[in-house]
Amino acid sequence: MQTFRPRLAVTLGDPAGVGPELVLRLLADEQLAAQCQLVVYGNDSIAMRVAEAARISFLSQGVSVGNLPHGHEWVDIPFPEALKIVPGRVQESCGRHALACIERATRDVIEKRADALVTAPINKETMHLAGVTFPGHTELLAHLTNSPSEPCMAFVADSDREKSAFPMVSLVTIHEPLAKVSSLLTIERIERVIRLTHDGCLKRGIAQPHIGVLAFNPHAGEGGLFGDEEARVIQPAIEYMRKEGFQVSGPLVPDTAFLTKYDAVVAMYHDQGLIPFKMAAFDSGVNVTLGLPIIRTSPDHGTAFNIAWQGVAKPDSFIHAVKLAAQMATQR
């Protein structure tokens, strides 16, 4: 019986960053090829420039981007400035090209020409110069997929859940100034993220997920001495979800919560969840967007302009992002 081999739409990200180099290395990975087919959205000229600069040999040994190994495919996206851009710099043209790749790849996933989307890192300043007003990848994808509600940014420490000793981490608020977070926390918003987190655990094969919900204030508010967010919005959301049958604990003291084993932890804001996560899983972490009508993952790092096109970027996080997307597409 033939095993399902999902098609994954993969974008190059910012051409001046490490994304193109990492994507090219994935194309030669035999283990990944056995799990999925990659359909890469980028530019031929950029690929060849990066391959030469980063000393990626398989593209110079009789294999072109139009004739990739393992049945992978390349969708060439026009990029008039491809021969002019400089690696490691913020450039408006790179933002335009990254956007064009994301738009085309997302459309193909929506229209079922691919089973999931895996995105290489983009640079927010570059995207802003190109006219993109969304604060990040997640919000842009919510717009492109016409998502009915705000998506949830979550992070998985390892694509193989049996080997992962760290819980999935999801965020109630994403790219927001810390001064605004308290005003954005509502019972409904926290309930929605708990539901999405529970669903994300199910999609990873965790049948009865136990979810820990972090407090907002130090010491979980210390009975209201340090703030009222716990009593006002977090505790009511937890109690409501418990009544619906979800296994939820909290509000948890944030500085000790990760010492207890949970399948997932819901954090109230970006750094509250991502500082411990990246300390534990910087090289293997994967960003997965919950609440979109499509499957989307990405490596848990940025464009790394300081090492772009130098052949030293580690592909570990990107490999795990591809594996997780393939796993979720197969289970679906």
The predicted model scores a pTM of 0.90
Residue 60 has pLDDT above 70, yes or no: no
Question: What confidence score (pLDDT) does residue 307 get?
Answer: 97
Residues 47-71: what's their mean pLDDT?
84
Residue 163 has pLDDT above 60, yes or no: no
Residue 73 has pLDDT above 80, yes or no: yes
Give CA torsion, residues 28, 31, 32, 38, to 10 deg: 50
Would you state the structure tokens that stand for residue 168, as one six-digit string? 């999935």
Using only the alpha carbons of the chain, give its radius of gyration.
Answer: 20
3-state secondary structure 231-280: HHHHHHHHHHHHHCCCEEEEEECCCCHHHCCCCEEEECCHHHHHHHHHHH
Question: What confidence score (pLDDT) does residue 58 get?
Answer: 75
Higher pLDDT, 221 or 82: 82
Hey, do 1-147+292-332 and 150-290 end up sharing a CATH topology, with the first three levels equal? Answer: yes
**Looking at the DSSP assignment, which residues form a beta bridge with residue 298?**
287
**pLDDT tens, 240-274?**
999 999 999 999 999 999 988 899 999 999 999 99
Residue 324 has pLDDT above 80, yes or no: yes
In the predicted model, what is the mean pLDDT of the chain? 92
Give the separation between CA 276 and CA 23, rounded to whole angstroms: 27
At residue 50, what is the residue type?
A: V
**pLDDT tens, 119-150?**
999 999 999 999 999 988 989 999 999 988 78
Residue 138: closest CA among 196, 81, 87, 82? 196
Question: What confidence score (pLDDT) does residue 168 get?
Answer: 94
Hey, which of 47-61, 254-268, 277-291 has the most confident mean pLDDT? 254-268
* 190 contact partners, CB below 8 Å, separation of at least 6: 172, 213, 233, 234, 237, 238, 266
Give the separation between CA 120 and CA 287, rounded to whole angstroms: 11
Question: What confidence score (pLDDT) does residue 161 get?
Answer: 52
**pLDDT tens, 9-49?**
999 999 999 999 999 999 999 999 999 999 999 999 999 99
Provide, for the chain, the percentages of residues in helix, strand and coil under a 3-state DSSP scheme, each rounded to the nearest 5: 45, 15, 40
Question: What confidence score (pLDDT) does residue 160 get?
Answer: 59
Grade residue 166 by pLDDT with cuts at 50, 70 and 90: confident
**pLDDT tens, 300-320?**
889 999 999 999 999 999 999
Question: What confidence score (pLDDT) does residue 62 get?
Answer: 63
Residue 187 has pLDDT above 70, yes or no: yes
Residues 104-129: what's their mean pLDDT?
97
Query: How far is Cα of residue 277 from the mean position of the Cα atoms in its chain?
Result: 13
Residue 159 has pLDDT above 60, yes or no: no
- The structural domains of the chain, with segments of one domain joined by +, span 1-147+292-332, 150-290
Is CATH 3.40.718.10 the classification given to domain 150-290? yes
Is CATH 3.40.50.1370 the classification given to domain 1-147+292-332? no
Grade residue 1 by pLDDT with cuts at 50, 70 and 90: very low
Portion of the chain with pLDDT greater than 70, in percent:
95
Residue 239 has pLDDT above 80, yes or no: yes
Question: What confidence score (pLDDT) does residue 101 get?
Answer: 98
